[in-house]
């Protein structure tokens, strides 16, 4: 069973202030838990159903502490309405400050608030081989349980750096592309070289005024219908796909 102490701790990790204080977060669901156990990230505790532990006998070895529990207990302490597998309590990673690497594409997120959007963007970065995401300090926390669930294990391979964006972008050497409703079409861009920074703005307000002077090129996804805008996760996928394709043919 999950002890009262651990249940209280896991419930507290739903909130950013307690994740920061404890330097822990949690992962739930069979696939994501198995990925984190295989990753080498320090797992402080593993709670799994008898079925999960029976099918994955080596899982307990990768955690400092492992206990069987019921699906009902997992659902009470986690965020999933249905979880018949496991929850892992994991140490927060600590990344070095972001350093620009020539030729790399980097996503830059300016005040992205929705956890589902951030999780989707992390998965897109992983799919297209983007290893680093720069986030404004007021972007939603990468280890929010809803972000982790939406990222589907990609959070293990993509590093998120929370730093003042104007300070970082003011020093970079590569082009800074900003996603706007008006600008150069992503279908027809001419790229001088591979790599650069792709800035995506807040879901409601777009890229902040502070960053506008640092944008080298305004880019847009041409509309063929009458929708007012695209979800930021969808826009990210379209832009990244086009820039990766164009840069690979240069």
Domains of the chain, start order: 4-91 (3.30.1330.30), 105-248 (3.40.1280.10)
pLDDT at 250 over 70: no
What pLDDT shows up at residue 42? 97
CA distance 194 to 105: 8
Average pLDDT over the chain, rounded to whole?
Answer: 95
Residue 103: Cβ within 10 Å count: 10
CA distance 127 to 118: 14
> Per-residue confidence at 194, pLDDT binned at 50, 70, 90?
confident
What pLDDT shows up at residue 249? 61
What is the mean predicted confidence (pLDDT) over 214-234? 94
What pLDDT shows up at residue 222? 94
CB 218 within 8 A of CB 180: yes
What pLDDT shows up at residue 248? 72
pLDDT digits (tens, 9 = 90+) for 159-171: 999 999 999 999 9
What's this model's pTM, rounded to 2 decimal places?
0.95
> Per-residue confidence at 192, pLDDT binned at 50, 70, 90?
confident
CB 33 within 8 A of CB 66: no
Residue predicted with more confidence, 229 or 200: 200
Which residues fall within 8 angstroms of residue 218, CB to CB, at 6 or more apart? 177, 178, 180, 182, 183, 184
């Amino acid at each position: 069973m999950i002890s009262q102490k651990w249940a209280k701790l896991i419930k507290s990790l739903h909130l950013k202030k307690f994740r920061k204080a404890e330097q822990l977060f949690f992962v739930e669901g069979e696939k994501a838990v198995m990925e984190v156990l295989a990753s080498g990230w320090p797992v402080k505790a593993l709670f799994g159903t008898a079925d999960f532990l029976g099918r994955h006998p080596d899982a307990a070895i990768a955690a400092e502490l492992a206990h069987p529990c019921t699906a009902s207990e997992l659902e009470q302490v986690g965020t999933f309405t249905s979880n018949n597998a496991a929850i892992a309590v994991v140490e927060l990673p600590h990344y070095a400050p972001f350093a620009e690497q020539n030729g790399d594409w980097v996503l830059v997120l300016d005040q992205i608030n929705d956890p589902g959007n951030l999780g989707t963007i992390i998965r897109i970065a992983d799919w297209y081989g983007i290893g680093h995401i720069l986030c404004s300090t007021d972007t939603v926390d990468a280890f929010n349980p809803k972000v982790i669930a939406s990222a589907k294990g990609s959070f293990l391979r993509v590093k998120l750096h929370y730093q003042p964006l104007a300070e970082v972008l003011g020093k970079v050497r590569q082009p800074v592309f900003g996603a706007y409703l008006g600008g150069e079409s992503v279908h027809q861009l001419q790229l001088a070289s591979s790599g650069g920074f792709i800035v995506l703005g807040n879901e409601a307000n777009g890229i902040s005024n502070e960053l506008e002077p640092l944008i080298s090129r305004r880019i847009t996804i041409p509309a063929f219908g009458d929708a007012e805008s695209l979800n930021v996760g969808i826009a990210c996928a379209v832009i990244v796909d086009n820039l990766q394709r164009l840069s690979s043919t240069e």
